[in-house]
Chains A and B, each alone.
Chain A
Amino acid sequence: MLTYTFRRLLISIPTLLFIAFVIFMLLELAPGDPMAQMPLTIPPEVKEKMRIALGLGEPWWIRFPLWLKQFFIIEPAYWIDNSFGTDLAGGAQRIVSFQSRSPVFDTIAQRLPQTLWVVGMSYVVGVIIALPIGIISAYRQYSVFDQAGTFVSMIGFSVPPFFSGVLLIVIFSVTLGWLPSIYDTTLVVNSWATFKMQIMQMVMPVMVLALQTTAQVSRYMRASMLDNLGQDYVRTARAKGMSESTVVMKHVLRNSMIPVITVIALGIPSIFGGAIITEQIFKVNGLGQLLIIALQGSDIPMVMTLTFLFAILIVMFNLIADVLYGVFDPRIRYD
């Protein structure tokens, strides 16, 4: 298992390098110019100096390794310096945003908590709702509950977040006036009243994202439970005289969770993608909104870094899902 994990980690390095290269070349080949927004009155020679100041003077085969060095060596060095008070970085050039002229990772660190709170909470809520739905749907297959569950998950698959979010705002903010439609990130939770405010502003974005998670996970849970309920060991367990709850909740559930856990792990990075839209609707200033703003301003270092971070998430969670599969299912041996 350990050798397998190690081998997969080694394989993921060239994969990530290749993805970084693809993103870099896509941004490089594109005709967009970060100087396009500058006033036309700036003389050409000054403009050229500004381009060099932004680091655009060198050809791509110098800038790409430089970016890799900044991302993998200099930025972690700064991070270690900040945490432990060492001086590894030695004042080296960090990845700097074109728009704000501040280090990209500082901005990301400011935005990350909001995204993690909303996205992470929605994923947890979605999974917690999905598991019982899947279990009951499978146990009472073709019952009214199962049909309703199928329908709800179909809706979860079909209604895009930019409609469900807007619909929730129309119903709960505009018509009923119960919940705020804009996520206030400056809110500091220090009392019961602010805690209540925080919960209220999180309900809608969390539910929009959770609906998608619930739709997917509950389907997998149901299918996996159905696979296991028909197995011989279930009949044996019942024949031994075990109570129905022990059979379902202990024997069947544990075995059914194996594939579902990997699905849950695989879904984590994609929920970050979905958060781009949800953050836009509820005006959460998280990573998704940061990406949109950076895109609109041709802020190449920011776009590059954010997209690459998403790619790292996907590759890592693919790896985690595969490893978890091997850990939980003793029949699977990768070596």
Chain B
Amino acid sequence: MTDRDIHADADNLLVAGDPTAPVKAVKARNQWLDVWDQFKTHKGAVASLLFLIFIALFVLIGPWLWGLDPAALDIRNKDVRPIVNALWGAEKVSWAHPMGTDNLGRDLMAQIMQGGRISLAVGAAAMILAILIGTFVGVIAGYFNRLDGILMRLTDLFLALPLLPLLLVMMLLFRDPLRSAFGPEQGIFILIVTGIGITSWMHTARIVRGDVLALKEREYVLAARSIGTPSRRIITRHLLPNVLSPIMVSATLGLATAIITESALSFLGLGFPPDFPTWGKILADSVPRMTAFPERVIWPGLAISLTVLAVNYIGDGLRDALDPRIRGM
């Protein structure tokens, strides 16, 4: 008999309300353990989680283990093909550069690792910013009736903005001042994260507002208010924990779109400065020579696509796992 069966039996006893039945001591189950149990049944999501952990380790400890400088020029070993090409022909391959090198002899694997760090960092930071703004606006709009109208009009306005063109405009116009203020990498990082963050919070805000609107009419919130709990504490203690699941799901989707948006900006030449690899930038830089060296486009493209695919699958699994109506089935 598994843990969950015991749990279910105890529930049945309670429902039956038989006073003579022996009351079994049931170990309290943590809510997140239940979520994890349900999450584990979604095979795609578990595989994706493993893959995402692998990618995270690859870009975090990878450069440290691999030891090659992504910017180091090695003109003698330029245009080395990836090791898999050895399968269908004797070409210029080398185990020292399993993914090959570019036209200046820079190691592609080291570049992918370095680029992945930036891409994932930008994605995560932009997602966190968007979630923070979205949750704040959503909770405030849902909880305080007076602010609801104006905040939701603001959300609608943001949704009506042409986001990609505006992001491109922001990148182009604020690149130079931020670069001189914070240094080339730091400045662009701040700009891209802020740009993506303030253009992608609207869906989270709408979802959170809808949930808060329904939750604040519940009895327990009324009870909390009747014993004089201040609004601030009602929000942090009672409302926020209950809207956590939709926030987590939209966080995963936000991470996926943030990674794609950053790569798109880099691809259009309005992202990070030259010689500063991100996945999108490596891809964009390799396009002119892709007829001769298609692998240089494929590696970063695969990295972006597989990471985003994994994140999307995790979001899918999380949505199922966090829905109590599905859980336990």
User: With A and B bound together, what is the CA distance between A306 and B168 in angstroms?
Assistant: 12
B173, B256, B290, B305 — most chain A CB neighbours (10 Å): B173
B309 in contact with A155 (CB, 8 Å): yes
Interface flags, A268-305, vs B, CB<8A=1, else 0: 01000110110011000000000110011010000100
Q: Which of B102-110, B133-141, B228-236, B294-302 contacts A (4 or more CB under 8 A)?
A: B294-302
| Chain A neighbourhood of B159, CB < 8 A | 314
Does residue B163 face the partner (Cβ distance < 8 Å to A)?
Answer: yes
Q: Interface size of A by Cβ–Cβ distance < 8 Å?
A: 45
A170 in contact with B297 (CB, 8 Å): yes
Closest residue of A by beta carbon distance from B303: A163
User: With A and B bound together, what is the CA distance between A182 and B135 in angstroms?
Assistant: 44
Q: How far, in Å, is B182 (CB) from chain A's closest CB?
A: 15
B162 in contact with A310 (CB, 8 Å): yes
Interface flags, B165-203, vs A, CB<8A=1, else 0: 110111011101100000000000000000000000000
B160 contacts which of A19, A26, A295 (Cβ < 8 Å)? A19
User: With A and B bound together, what is the CA distance between A314 and B312 in angstroms?
Assistant: 26
Q: How far, in Å, is B266 (CB) from chain A's closest CB?
A: 9
Does residue B313 face the partner (Cβ distance < 8 Å to A)?
Answer: yes
Q: Which of A146-160 contact B (CB under 8 A)?
A: 154-155, 157-160
B166 contacts which of A175, A307, A313 (Cβ < 8 Å)? A307
| Chain B neighbourhood of A155, CB < 8 A | 305, 309
A295 in contact with B161 (CB, 8 Å): no
User: With A and B bound together, what is the CA distance between A160 and B174 in angstroms?
Assistant: 25
A170 contacts which of B260, B270, B298 (Cβ < 8 Å)? B298
Does residue B304 face the partner (Cβ distance < 8 Å to A)?
Answer: yes
Q: How far, in Å, is B256 (CB) from chain A's closest CB?
A: 7
A174 contacts which of B162, B177, B284, B291 (Cβ < 8 Å)? B291
Does residue B308 face the partner (Cβ distance < 8 Å to A)?
Answer: yes
Known: A19-B161, A158-B256, A311-B162. A166 touches B290 (CB 8 A): yes
B169 in contact with A27 (CB, 8 Å): yes
Does residue B287 face the partner (Cβ distance < 8 Å to A)?
Answer: yes
A162 in contact with B264 (CB, 8 Å): yes
User: With A and B bound together, what is the CA distance between A196 and B117 in angstroms?
Assistant: 45
Does residue A15 face the partner (Cβ distance < 8 Å to B)?
Answer: yes
Does residue B268 face the partner (Cβ distance < 8 Å to A)?
Answer: yes
Chain A binding surface, main DSSP class: helix
A31 in contact with B177 (CB, 8 Å): yes
Does residue A59 face the partner (Cβ distance < 8 Å to B)?
Answer: no
A167 in contact with B162 (CB, 8 Å): no
| Chain A neighbourhood of B298, CB < 8 A | 167, 170
A310 in contact with B170 (CB, 8 Å): no
Does residue B164 face the partner (Cβ distance < 8 Å to A)?
Answer: yes
Closest residue of B by beta carbon distance from A274: B164
Does residue A62 face the partner (Cβ distance < 8 Å to B)?
Answer: no
Q: How far, in Å, is B212 (CB) from chain A's closest CB?
A: 24
A154 contacts which of B264, B268, B313 (Cβ < 8 Å)? B313
Closest residue of A by beta carbon distance from B176: A31
User: With A and B bound together, what is the CA distance between A159 and B173 in angstroms?
Assistant: 29
A280 in contact with B294 (CB, 8 Å): no
| Chain A neighbourhood of B312, CB < 8 A | 154, 157-158
User: With A and B bound together, what is the CA distance between A27 and B166 in angstroms?
Assistant: 10
B157 in contact with A18 (CB, 8 Å): yes
Does residue A44 face the partner (Cβ distance < 8 Å to B)?
Answer: no
Q: How far, in Å, is B21 (CB) from chain A's closest CB?
A: 37
Closest residue of B by beta carbon distance from A318: B160
User: With A and B bound together, what is the CA distance between A281 and B290 in angstroms?
Assistant: 12
B301 in contact with A163 (CB, 8 Å): yes
Q: How far, in Å, is A324 (CB) from chain B's closest CB?
A: 18
Known: A32-B173, A174-B294, A295-B168. A158 touches B305 (CB 8 A): yes
Known: A167-B298, A291-B168, A307-B169. A280 touches B162 (CB 8 A): no
A314 in contact with B162 (CB, 8 Å): yes
A174 in contact with B173 (CB, 8 Å): no
B268 in contact with A280 (CB, 8 Å): yes
User: With A and B bound together, what is the CA distance between A318 and B158 in angstroms?
Assistant: 13
B309 in contact with A154 (CB, 8 Å): yes
Q: Which of B253-281 contact A (CB under 8 A)?
A: 256, 260, 263-264, 267-268, 270, 280
A31 in contact with B173 (CB, 8 Å): yes
Does residue A179 face the partner (Cβ distance < 8 Å to B)?
Answer: no
User: With A and B bound together, what is the CA distance between A310 and B305 in angstroms?
Assistant: 27
A170 in contact with B169 (CB, 8 Å): no
Closest residue of A by beta carbon distance from B316: A154
| Chain B neighbourhood of A22, CB < 8 A | 161
Interface flags, A158-197, vs B, CB<8A=1, else 0: 1110110011011000110000000000000000000000
| Chain A neighbourhood of B162, CB < 8 A | 269, 273, 307, 310-311, 313-314
Does residue A23 face the partner (Cβ distance < 8 Å to B)?
Answer: yes
| Chain A neighbourhood of B290, CB < 8 A | 166, 169-170, 174
A23 in contact with B264 (CB, 8 Å): no
| Chain B neighbourhood of A136, CB < 8 A | none
| Chain A neighbourhood of B172, CB < 8 A | 32, 295-296, 298
User: With A and B bound together, what is the CA distance between A243 and B177 in angstroms?
Assistant: 68
B268 in contact with A276 (CB, 8 Å): yes
Closest residue of A by beta carbon distance from B305: A159
Q: List 17 A-B contacts (CB under 8 A).
A: A19-B160, A27-B169, A27-B173, A31-B174, A32-B173, A155-B309, A160-B305, A160-B308, A162-B267, A169-B290, A170-B294, A274-B164, A276-B165, A295-B168, A303-B165, A307-B162, A307-B165
Q: Beyond the given A32-B172, A166-B283, please list 20 additional residue pairs across the A-B interface where CB-CB is below 8 A.
A: A23-B166, A27-B173, A31-B176, A154-B309, A158-B312, A159-B301, A160-B263, A162-B283, A163-B301, A163-B305, A167-B298, A170-B290, A170-B298, A273-B162, A276-B268, A277-B268, A298-B172, A303-B169, A307-B165, A318-B160
Complex A-B, nearest 8 residue pairs according to Cβ-Cβ distance, in ascending order: A30-B173, A310-B162, A163-B301, A158-B309, A158-B308, A273-B164, A170-B294, A159-B305
Using CB atoms and an 8 Å cutoff, list the residues of chain B in contact with chain A: 156-157, 159-166, 168-170, 172-174, 176-177, 256, 260, 263-264, 267-268, 270, 280, 283-284, 287, 290-291, 294, 297-298, 301, 304-306, 308-309, 312-313
